[in-house]
Amino acid sequence: MTPENFLNIKDDFPILSRLIQGKEFIYLDSAATTQKPNSVIDSITDYYKNYNSNIHRGIYSISIEATEHYENSRTNVSNFIHAKSPNEIVFTRNATESINLVANTWVNKNLQKGDSIILTEMEHHSNLVPWQIIAKKLELNLEFIPINNEGILILDNLDDLFSNNGKFLAITHVSNVLGTINPVKEIIAKAHDFGIVTLVDAAQSVPHMPVDVSSINSDFLVFSGHKMLGPSGIGVLHAKQELLQNMDPFLYGGDMISSVSLHNAQWNDIPWKFEAGTQNIAGSIGLGTAIDYLNHLSMTNIRKHEQNLLSYALKRLNELDGIHIFGPKNPEITGGVVSFSYSDFHPHDIASILDTESIAIRAGHHCAQPLVEKLGVPATTRASFYIYNDKSDIDKLVHGLEKVRSVLS
C-alpha cells in the first residue's frame, strides 16, 4: 500500500464517522492515544463472544484456543520489532508499567549508592518519575543530557556523563512534545562502550516508524498498545534474554510460578515469570490484530505519510500570524507531532474553541513538565498525526485557529 492510499483509511475507524456538534470529527491527539480500526474492535469482540477463557491452565478447547491467540500475539510483537525471540517479550499494562518493572527489578538489584542514571531533558514523566524514586531509595545520581533551542539533544559531553559512574541510560526515542527523533542507536553504542545498560522509551516511535531492536541494540525497550491502534491496558517490555533470566519477578502470584510449597516457590521460565495473574488476554489479541493492520500498510509507508503531513502542517501553521513552533523544523528528524504557541492565547482556550469546531488537540504540559518549563511557557498546544489523518484535517485546524483569533482578539 502506498501513501496515496491512506486517504481511504478513515472508513476503517468507526469513531471518525461520528459527528460532534454537527461537524466532522477531526482527531489530532494520537500522541496521547490512537483510534481503533474495526478489525481490532472485532478481534476483541470475537474473543469475548467465542473463546473467552483463561490461558495456560485449561485443557479444554477454548482455553487452548485463547492461549494460542495470546502467544501468537507475543510472536507478532516480537517479529514487529525484530526481537531475537518471543521469549524477550513481556506483556504489561503499558509503557509506564514496563519502565517501573525495570526500575524495581534490574536497577534495584544492580545499582548502588553513588551510581548514576542518565536521562534527557525531554523525558515523559513515565521515564522520569520512576528513576527519581529509585534514585532516592538507592542514593543514586540523576544526570541529564541537555537539549538546545531547537529541541535537539546536545551530545558533546556524553563521554563526561557516561564516565561519571554512569550505570544506566533511559532515553526517549521520539519526544511526545517536540517530535524530536533521537539518534538512539548511536547513543546506545557509546553507552555500551562505558558498560552502561540502556532502556528506550519507544512509545512514540514503534507506532510510527520501523523499529528494529536488534539494530538499535537496546537492552530494554518499552511501548504501549493503545498508541498503535491497539486497546488500552496492554503494553510491552522487550528485554534481552540474558537480562530477563537474571531479573527477579516484579509481581507475584498465579501463573508466574513453576512450583509452590507452603514456604517456598520456584519461578516460571521467561517471559511468563513476569506475567503474574490473569493477563489482559483480549488486550493482547487486539494488539496482535493492530500489528497486522500496521504491517498491511507497512511502517515505511506510515513514516512517509506522517512526514508529508508534518511538512504540510509546518507550512500551513507558519502562514498564521503569532504562531511559534517548538522543536525541530526538519521532518527528517521529527515525528508527526507539532507543539506551538499562538500569540498570547492560552493553550486551554485554544483547545476549547477548537473543540467547538469538532477538532481534538492537546493543551498542557503533555506529561513532560520539566521540558515545557525549559521551553519557557506554562503549556503548549499540540497537534499529533497518524495514519487516518490527511491534509484536509490540517486545513481544518488552521481554519479553527483563525476562529480562535477572531474569538479571543
CATH number of the domain that residue 109 is part of: 3.40.640.10
Strand partners, 237: 90, 222
Beta-carbon contacts of 181 under 8 Å, excluding residues fewer than 6 positions away, are 173, 174, 205, 209, 333, 334, 335
**Of 126, 131, 153, 130, nearest in space to 142 by CA:** 131
**Of 252, 253, 218, nearest in space to 84 by CA:** 218
Active site residue 367: yes
Sheet holding 337-342, edge to edge: 323-326, 337-342, 380-384, 362-364
Measured in whole angstroms, how far is the alpha carbon of residue 170 from the centre of its chain? 14
Is the same domain home to 355 and 231? no
Catalytic residue among 81, 367, 372, 383: 367
pTM over 0.85: yes
Strand partners, 238: 89, 221
Q: Record the cell numbers describing residue 50, joined without a space.
A: 467465542
CA distance 98 to 250: 10
Is the same domain home to 78 and 212? yes
Q: How far is CA 108 from CA 69, 104, 111, 130, 140, in A?
A: 34, 5, 6, 11, 11
Q: Which helix (H) or strand (E) holds 343?
A: none
Is the same domain home to 268 and 372? no
Is the same domain home to 108 and 72? yes
What value does the CA radius of gyration of the chain take, rounded to a whole number of Å?
22
Per-residue pLDDT at 6: 83
Say if 12 falls within a structural domain.
Answer: yes
Per-residue pLDDT at 5: 64
Is the same domain home to 246 and 355? no
What length does the chain have? 409
Say if 262 falls within a structural domain.
Answer: yes
Say if 185 falls within a structural domain.
Answer: yes
Q: Given phi > 0 = left and psi -120 to 50 = alpha, else beta, which region is 195?
A: left
Is the same domain home to 82 and 210? yes
Q: Record the cell numbers describing residue 279, joined without a space.
A: 493477563
Give the domain-ending residue among 295, 311, 340.
295
Range of the domain at 394: 3-30+298-408
**Of 309, 406, 288, nearest in space to 357 by CA:** 406
CB 307 within 8 A of CB 331: yes
Per-residue pLDDT at 1: 45
Say if 358 falls within a structural domain.
Answer: yes
Is the same domain home to 261 and 388? no
Is the same domain home to 175 and 222? yes
CB 234 within 8 A of CB 93: yes
Say if 36 falls within a structural domain.
Answer: no
Q: Which helix (H) or strand (E) holds 237?
A: strand 235-239
Report the C-alpha dihedral over residues 189, 178, 29, 21, rounded to 10 degrees.
Answer: -170
Q: How far is CA 71 from CA 66, 138, 226, 396, in A?
A: 9, 36, 19, 42
Is the same domain home to 353 and 229? no
Q: What is the CATH number of the domain that holds 378?
A: 3.90.1150.10
CA distance 50 to 374: 52
3-state secondary structure of 144: strand
Is the same domain home to 291 and 167? yes
CA distance 202 to 185: 12
CB 360 within 8 A of CB 35: no
Say if 187 falls within a structural domain.
Answer: yes
Give the domain-ending residue among 278, 295, 312.
295
pLDDT digits (tens, 9 = 90+) for 264-292: 999 999 999 999 999 999 999 999 999 99
CA distance 72 to 86: 9
156 φ, ψ (degrees, to nearest 5) = -65, -30
Q: How many domains does the chain have?
A: 2
Low-confidence ranges of the chain (pLDDT < 70): 1-5
CA distance 372 to 379: 6
Is the same domain home to 363 and 264? no
CA distance 230 to 232: 7
Per-residue pLDDT at 7: 74
Is the same domain home to 307 and 282? no
CA distance 43 to 39: 6
Q: Record the cell numbers describing residue 252, joined without a space.
A: 507475584
Q: Return the DSSP state at 268.
A: P
Say if 146 falls within a structural domain.
Answer: yes
Say if 35 falls within a structural domain.
Answer: no
Q: How far is CA 193 from CA 158, 167, 187, in A?
A: 11, 11, 10
148 φ, ψ (degrees, to nearest 5) = -90, -175
Give the domain-ending residue among 295, 315, 344.
295
Per-residue pLDDT at 231: 99
Beta-carbon contacts of 291 under 8 Å, excluding residues fewer than 6 positions away, are 73, 76, 77, 80, 228, 230
Q: Record the cell numbers describing residue 73, joined without a space.
A: 500475539
